[in-house]
Amino acid sequence: MRIGTDDEAADKPLLAALRGQPVWPPPLWLMRQAGRYLPEYRAVRARVPDFIALCTTPELAAEVTLQPIRRYRFDAAILFSDILMLPWALGHGLAFREGEGPVLPPLRTAAEVERLDPERARGAIAPILETVRRVRDGLAAEGFARTALIGFAGAPFTVACYMVEGGGSKEFAATRTMAYTRPDLFAALMARLTDATIAYLTAQVEAGAETVMLFDSWAGVLSPQLFRRHAIAPARRIVAALRASFPRLPVIGFPRLAGTMLGEYAAGTGVDGVGVDTATELGQARRLVGAQVALQGNIDPLALLAGGAALADAADDALAAARAGRFVVNLGHGILPPTPPEHVAALVARVRAAA
């Protein structure tokens, strides 16, 4: 194989699968593959005062991005950061409290939307882009020539959920109420987040991300009408803008718990791959999105935690789906902190040994 730029070299397995080339065994990476289940992550995390400091210290963020690649040789490294670093960069407050998750000032007014500052974001994301460059260099220097680097952002709706609610929630009722009762205010927030997401992902690709993923973790709380307006339409705009700058860039969308809206999402946004959550059957996901879109998922994080036969069965379901079409093996949601690292090793071994 000749050495050259990405376009000259053979595609890495993840990029090949997203572009519709046959790949066997299927590429594999896991959401939240860098994190608290790894002792080496906890050791780095202990060196900084808080999670935001970890995300904004390129040397450490790059280190924790590479940790799971060294252990498991995943087909993708995903930038270590958080979806809430974009509102943080735009000047909205953010803190991560131990055991409590993210805390933000609840957004209520047009003035608060107007204060979100794209100029400020351009400067504030500099350390995150430096992490991207360091990870690309690190993957090459450590011999992980087949591992692709994934950049990411939260989808505007999911980011808006945390901003309006002021943190996590079960139903994000305040956010959906704002979408119904103050549609102009909510549209202004969504428009500003969509523009900022385009700039942010563009900068990540310029810094070395080879594919990007849009996490819409709370898309499933939306009615079909609001799903079209606030999940599909902004993702379509983001995908189109990225395609205009980078025609070969594969884009993955993850509208979690979209259910039967998954097909409309895939067709309406133009993504190359869709993340499938644990609640959706892979055969149905395939029928909904058609043959031209890669599926990524959807092993239950609790099956990974359980290990043994539960994990083997879940892995075999994913492998069966991979034999039937474009596929990337992953979880249906992120790795849970108490997951034994040996269970991850067992999953990797089973997928890599698949005939």
- Residue number, 27 or 102, with CB nearest to ligand CP3: 102
143-182: contacts with ligand CP3 (CB under 6 A): 152, 168
Asked whether position 84 contacts ligand CP3 by CB under 6 A, the answer is: yes
Least distance in Å: CB of 328 to ligand CP3?
A: 14
d(CA 277, CA 257): 6
Asked whether position 238 contacts ligand CP3 by CB under 6 A, the answer is: no
Asked whether position 215 contacts ligand CP3 by CB under 6 A, the answer is: yes
Could you tell me which of 21, 80, 73 has the C-alpha nearest to residue 52? 80
List 37, 74, 80, 327, residue binding ligand CP3 (CB under 6 A): 80
Identify whether the C-beta of residue 86 lies closer than 8 Å to the C-beta of residue 192. Answer: no
List 11, 82, 264, 277, residue binding ligand CP3 (CB under 6 A): 82
Residues 6+ apart with CB under 8 A from 123: none
To 5 degrees, how large is the angle CA 19–CA 227–CA 241?
45
Least distance in Å: CB of 52 to ligand CP3?
A: 10
- Residue number, 150 or 294, with CB nearest to ligand CP3: 150
Asked whether position 35 contacts ligand CP3 by CB under 6 A, the answer is: yes
Asked whether position 277 contacts ligand CP3 by CB under 6 A, the answer is: no
From residue 128, give the alpha-carbon distance in Å to each of 135, 199, 204, 307, 325. Answer: 11, 13, 8, 34, 34
List 14, 15, 28, 34, residue binding ligand CP3 (CB under 6 A): 34
Asked whether position 263 contacts ligand CP3 by CB under 6 A, the answer is: no
Kind of pairing, strands 95-97 and 101-103? antiparallel
d(CA 103, CA 99): 11
Stretch that binds ligand CP3, among 96-104, 120-128, 181-189, 340-348 (CB under 6 A): 96-104
Percent of the chain that is helix, strand, coil (3-state, to 5): 55, 10, 35
Asked whether position 74 contacts ligand CP3 by CB under 6 A, the answer is: no
Asked whether position 334 contacts ligand CP3 by CB under 6 A, the answer is: yes
Asked whether position 308 contacts ligand CP3 by CB under 6 A, the answer is: no
Identify whether the C-beta of residue 198 lies closer than 8 Å to the C-beta of residue 237. Answer: yes
d(CA 40, CA 339): 14
Least distance in Å: CB of 111 to ligand CP3?
A: 25
Residues 6+ apart with CB under 8 A from 253: 155, 213, 214, 216, 235, 239, 265, 266, 269, 271, 273, 274, 275
- Chain residues that interact with ligand CP3, rule: CB under 6 A: 31-36, 45, 51, 78, 80, 82-84, 96, 101-102, 152, 168, 215, 217, 334
Positions marked catalytic: 32, 36, 45, 82, 162
